[in-house]
Amino acid sequence: MRSSDLLLVVDVQNDFLPGGALAVPDGDAIVPLVNRLAARFANVILTQDWHPPGHVSFASAHAGGKPFDTLRMPYGPQVLWPDHCVQGTRGAEFAAALAVPHAQAVIRKGYHPHTDSYSAFLEADRVTPTGLAGMLRERGIERVFLCGLALDFCVAWSALDARGAGFEAVVMEDACRPIDTGGSLQAAHASFAAQGVQRAQTADLAG
């Protein structure tokens, strides 16, 4: 890997693992791959979905709202989710088996009560930055590899926004798992092709 490469480890948190509030099927299977992958990068940043109680993305916050329904918000369509990754809860903690002690920063996202943030770069209003793009630019990062959960939501939106911010983006597919609801996985693949997000397997990585 080059010194201008960075691995972004997206939302490897208890609530996205089997038994969690928003379990991604087979999500726990990626953890050993993520650990091995991260060991090859000098530059690693973790993201952490981090919602206040009653967050706008929770079905429970809307009268008659059901998980996996879509609601129209001022900033666009919002999928409603079970309550998940509530600040300070066990579900919001990183998976116990995640072993990335050399991670350099944790980007928390989704902490504004009325706006979701799948992306590590831009909130769902598509204008509020998290600050990650500036951090990466200041540090001379040019290429962002991504792994984690869920492929078709937080990984996909982060990869697309990495491209939008001028970085190369490479999704390590075998170190991700999708939620796959309402055509989300197909849509992610189409956007990757349209926006120049590369798709790779961990075994493809040289050096």
Of 15, 49, 83, 109, catalytic: 109
Q: Choose among Zn ion, ligand VGL, none what residue 94 binds, the Cβ cut-off being 5 to 8 Å by kind.
A: none
Q: How long a stretch of residues is the chain?
A: 207
Residue 149 interacts with ligand VGL (CB under 6 A)? yes
Residue nearest to Zn ion (CB): 49
Could you say which residues in the range 81-140 bind ligand VGL, by CB under 6 A? 81, 118
* 11 counts as catalytic: yes
What is the amino acid identity at position 105? A
d(CA 140, CA 126): 24
Q: Does 161 bind Zn ion (CB under 5 A)?
A: no
Among 7, 11, 159, 160, binds ligand VGL (CB under 6 A): 11
Which two tokens mark 57? 């993305």
Question: What CA–CA distance (Å, rounded) separates 165 from 176?
Answer: 22
Subset of residues 58 to 87 that bind ligand VGL, contact rule: CB under 6 A? 81
Cis peptide leading into residue 150 (ω within 30°): yes
Please say if 154 is a catalytic residue.
Answer: yes
Cβ nearer to ligand VGL, comparing 4 with 89:
89
102 burial type by CB count under 10 A (0-12 exposed, 13-18 middle, 19+ buried): exposed
What is the C-alpha end-to-end distance of the chain, expressed in Å?
A: 6
Closest to 123 (Cα-Cα) out of 139, 106, 107: 107
Of 46, 150, 160, 162, the residue at the interface with ligand VGL (CB under 6 A) is 150
Which of 40, 108 has the CB closer to ligand VGL? 108
Phi-psi bin for 205: left (phi > 0), alpha (psi -120 to 50), beta? beta
Binding flag, residue 83, Zn ion (CB under 5 A): no
**Nearer Cβ to ligand VGL (41/153):** 153
Element (H, E) at 132: helix 132-138
**Which one from 28, 154, 161, 176 is the annotated catalytic residue?**
154
Give helix then strand counts, H and E, for the chain: 4, 8
Residue 65 CA to residue 60 CA, distance in Å, equals 6
> What is the contact mask toward Zn ion in residues 38 to 57, using x (rule: CB under 5 A)?
-----------x--------
**Given the complex with ligand VGL, which of 16 and 192 has the nearer CB atom?**
16
Judge whether 66 counts as a catalytic residue: no
Give the footprint of ligand VGL on this chain (CB under 6 A): 11, 16, 49, 81, 118, 149-150, 153-154
